[in-house]
Amino acid sequence: MPAKRIDFSVKPAVLINFGDNQKEFHSGCSVIDIVFPKALYVEIAEIHFRNYYTARLTVRACVRDSSHHRLSSEGRWQTCVRKMQLMPVGHSDENCESYFTITTKQMAFPLRDILTLRFILRQPSPLWKEFRLDDIRLYKSSIQDQEESSLQSLPWLFESTRASEEKEQQRESDATKPEGVSSIADLSRNLQQLWAISQKVTSSQPAHGPSRYDVDGTYEINLLSYN
């Protein structure tokens, strides 16, 4: 079961300018607002995005102020993530297009009952005129948790990964060897090898066999005529 994605709309990024709008002045700061038009109650556990030349990221959230009214549209602004470093050095393009995931661990408070989410992007270096976040995705529950729970259904996987080397060896020596077997490890290795070889054949099988028109050894006469 995939983690539930949250529907939202992204307002166009606003580049912060000083004074006259016409004058070009690289402030190195831009703001992306995210609103949730359809949802009444928004809870975010993970934020995924791809960076594009942003040096630092601050995330602020407008949390619904439910003290007055349950569905009031007023909220308080709180800083959820403060100045998260996305690029190690602002001037160099190292890690400038990396993927990031912000989980609840990195958030100052859990994002619940959110009205608006605001990303404040900063790029102090004048080298990069354009900076933004791409491919923003929000998830209700953590993807990692989901993956773990789906893996829980495969107990044998955990059995072998969790068991330490020692324990494994212990079990091997404990395992009752069938009569007349010298080394079960050798047998296992041989069998695995044989299985791997048969896999090579499986992967080389053609998608289609020779094309034939007969069904159980007899032909349909209409298929053989030319028209």
Partner 1 sequence: MEKAGGDKKRSGKHGEGVAIDKQFLERSNATRYIRDVLTKIVENRPDDPIGFLADYFQNLGAQKGSVSRACQQIRLTHHSKPAFHNNVVLAYEILGESRNPPTRGIDGKLYMELVTELGIGFRQTIREKLLKKILCRDHEVVVFDVFRAGVLACVILEEFLAEAESLFKALDFHGQGKVEFSLCDAVLQELKTSVTSSLVQDPVALLQTAHTLSPSSLAASLTTITEKYTPAGHPRSPMTKEDFLATATDAYLLAVKPLK
Residues that bind partner 1 (CB under 8 A): 154, 156-157, 160, 168, 171-172, 175-188, 190-195, 197-202, 204-210, 212
CB of 27 to partner 1, least distance (A): 49
**Which CB atom, from 92 or from 152, has the smaller least distance to partner 1?**
152
Rank residues 19 and 178 by Cβ distance to partner 1 and give the closer one.
Answer: 178
CB of 122 to partner 1, least distance (A): 42
Specify whether the CB–CB gap between 28 and 123 falls below 8 A.
Answer: yes
- Which runs of consecutive H residues, i.e. helices, occur in the chain? 143-151, 155-162, 165-174, 184-204, 221-224
Nearest distance, CB of residue 187 and partner 1, angstroms: 6
* Residue 12, Cβ density class (10 Å: 0-12 exposed, 13-18 middle, ≥19 buried): exposed
| Cα–Cα distance list, 118 to 6, 36, 172, 221 (Å) | 16, 12, 56, 71
Task: Name which of 19 and 155 has its Cβ closer to partner 1.
Answer: 155
Least distance (Å) between residue 194 CB and partner 1? 5
Query: Alpha-carbon distance 52 to 121, whole Å?
Result: 10
Q: Which residue's entry shows tokens 């032909």?
A: 219
Contact 3, 26 (CB under 8 A): no
Tokens of 128: 């990069």
Which CB, 40 or 154, lies closer to partner 1?
154
What's the min distance (Å) between Cβ of 5 and partner 1? 24
